[in-house]
Structure 1
């Protein structure tokens, strides 16, 4: 179906992508190139912990809003499909680790656990589209939850 949609023969597709992994890597690289996850590095310069959390979560939740349909499908499939799980780890893992490091600086273990919850696509989806909160209100709810967990 991919070859048909691209207007090429199957052998052409297989010449470029000999297996499913190489195809998924190429597709995910293109998707991330077109709409990259936010970069955590600039947030390091924000001295105030609450402001850093708000800035980071606003950016991440904005990305989730723009990419909700694709992210929902990919993350759903990653729970049951080992190769998709591997690709998600390759493409999202470094970003999520950077978010944990930068946004989690000086947080207690309990607060870092709540930060992990706040960073989850599923948390955003529960708070915003399903819960009816605007992005800023969802972020504020998570910042308050993290702050109160001292």
Structure 2
């Protein structure tokens, strides 16, 4: 009797004969898995590089918005700042709106506005106002260059309309929080509301601190006194 010793892995797989050779399906499966793994790795690596390029473009645009301003930021300048070709910018951001939207979202993620939710816990409206203005004026101080450029260029660049409107909505939410618990009614409440609206604006901080030489703490005191006087009349 002729005895043939067959390996278990061969016995478990399908045996095919091609040109006198024997192929083990288990080995073929292993090769296929390895190919899929390599392909998956290449896909992940390509996606990672694409994300890095997109971030470089976004940060380049953000830097230019904060220096020369949005209206003077060109695709050519963004490409040069990011160290890529113009076509690469368009491949990631087909139009100005897409680029400005990504830039605004990235900038706000790095520079979030103060949250009025923390102020709600302060029952005294006057103390709440002082806390809010201190945080807001610090934010204005830190981001004044970008805010100057954005507000200056907003009438010239339609793509700036959504982020500017978004900031205005945030200021409106702050205003509503700062009006909570105030007992004034009628025209007196209207005066208080107007004073609070003036106090939270970037223009008020800019006028008091940059144009008239107050520090932020003095600006907070002055605005808080103004709001208090508006409610007392």
TM beyond 0.5: yes
Q: Structure 1 stretches (4+) deviating beyond 6 angstroms?
A: none
Q: Secondary structure at the match of 1:44?
A: coil
Map 1:14-53 → 2, pairs under 5 A: 14-53=90-129
Establish whether residue 8 from structure 1 lines up as the match of residue 84 from structure 2: yes
Map 1:97-112 → 2, pairs under 5 A: 97-105=172-180, 106=182, 108-112=189-193
Q: Partner of 2:17 in structure 1?
A: none
Map 1:1-150 → 2, pairs under 5 A: 1-90=77-166, 92-105=167-180, 106=182, 108-150=189-231
Give deviations 1:37-95, integer Å, cap 9, x for gaps.
Answer: 111101000001111000000000000000111111111112443332332113x1332
Deviation at 1:130, TM superposition (A): 1.4
> TM-score, normalized by length of structure 1?
0.93
| 128-137 or 54-63, larger mean C-alpha shift | 128-137
Deviation at 1:109, TM superposition (A): 1.4
**Number of equivalent positions:** 149
Q: Mind listing any 5+ residue stretches in structure 1 that lack a counterpart?
A: none
Instruction: Give the Cα–Cα distance (whole angstroms) in 2 for the partners of residues 81 and 113 of structure 1.
Output: 29
Instruction: Give the Cα–Cα distance (whole angstroms) in 1 for the partners of residues 199 and 225 of structure 2.
Output: 11
Q: Secondary structure at the match of 2:211?
A: coil
Q: CA RMSD in A?
A: 1.3
Q: Secondary structure at the match of 1:149?
A: helix
| Structure with greater contact order relative to length (CA < 8 Å, sep ≥ 6) | 1
Give deviations 1:75-120, integer Å, cap 9, x for gaps.
Answer: 1112443332332113x13321221111122261111111111111
Deviation at 1:7, TM superposition (A): 1.2
Larger-Rg structure? 2
